[in-house]
Amino acid sequence: MESTRTAREAVTTLLERPDEILLEVGAGGELLTARIRVVIAALLLLLPLVNALTGGSLRETLIGLVGAVVVNVLAQVWLQLARRRRRYRWLSFATSAFDVTATTLVLVMLAASHLPAALNSMVVWCGYLLAILLTALRSDGRTTLFAGTLALLQYGLLNAVIFAAVTTPDQLISSDYGAVTVSSQVQRLLLLAMVTLITAMVVYRTQRLVELSGTDGLTRLPNRTWLLYRMPRLIEAAEEDGGSLSLALLDLDHFKRINDEAGHHAGDRAVRHVVAVLRSMSEPDEWLVRLGGEEFALVMRQPVGTAWERVDSIRRLLAQHPFDPERGNMEPLRITFSAGIASSPNDGNDLSRLLSRADQRLKMAKREGRNRVVARDG
DSSP secondary structure of 67-118:
HHHHHHHHHHHHHHHHTSTTS-TTHHHHHHHHHHHHHHHHHHHHHHH-HHHH
Nearest residue to 298 via CA among 274, 278, 316, 273: 278
Q: Which domains does the chain have, with CATH numbers?
A: 2-213 (no CATH), 224-374 (3.30.70.270)
Residue 114 pLDDT grade (very low, low, confident, very high; cuts 50, 70, 90): confident
| Span 40-76, pLDDT tens digits | 888 888 877 877 777 767 777 787 788 788 888 988 9
Once rounded to an integer, what is the mean pLDDT over residues 227-255?
Answer: 89
- Confidence (pLDDT) at 320: 92
Q: Are strands 178-179 and 295-300 parallel, antiparallel or unpaired?
A: unpaired
Q: Are strands 337-344 and 245-252 parallel, antiparallel or unpaired?
A: antiparallel
- Pairwise pLDDT comparison (344 vs 139), residue with the higher score: 344
DSSP string, 209-257: HHHHHTB-TTT--B-HHHHHHHHHHHHHHHHHHT--EEEEEEEETTTHH
**Whether pTM exceeds 0.75:** no
- Pairwise pLDDT comparison (50 vs 83), residue with the higher score: 83
C-alpha distances in Å from residue 128, one per residue of 77, 245, 347: 20, 45, 50
Q: How far apart are CA 378 and CA 365, in angstroms?
A: 11
Across all residues in the chain, what is the average pLDDT?
Answer: 86
* Under 8 Å between Cβ of 255 and 267: yes
Once rounded to an integer, what is the mean pLDDT over residues 139-163?
Answer: 92
What is the dihedral angle through the alpha carbons of 206, 41, 178, 114, rounded to the nearest 10 degrees? 130
53 class by beta-carbon count within 10 Å (0-12 exposed, 13-18 middle, 19+ buried): exposed
Q: How far apart are CA 148 and CA 132, in angstroms?
A: 6
Check pLDDT > 80 for residue 284.
Answer: yes
With residue 373 as reference, give the H or E element that holds it.
strand 373-374
- Confidence (pLDDT) at 285: 84
CA 237, chain centre distance (Å): 18
Check pLDDT > 60 for residue 247.
Answer: yes
Check pLDDT > 90 for residue 230.
Answer: no
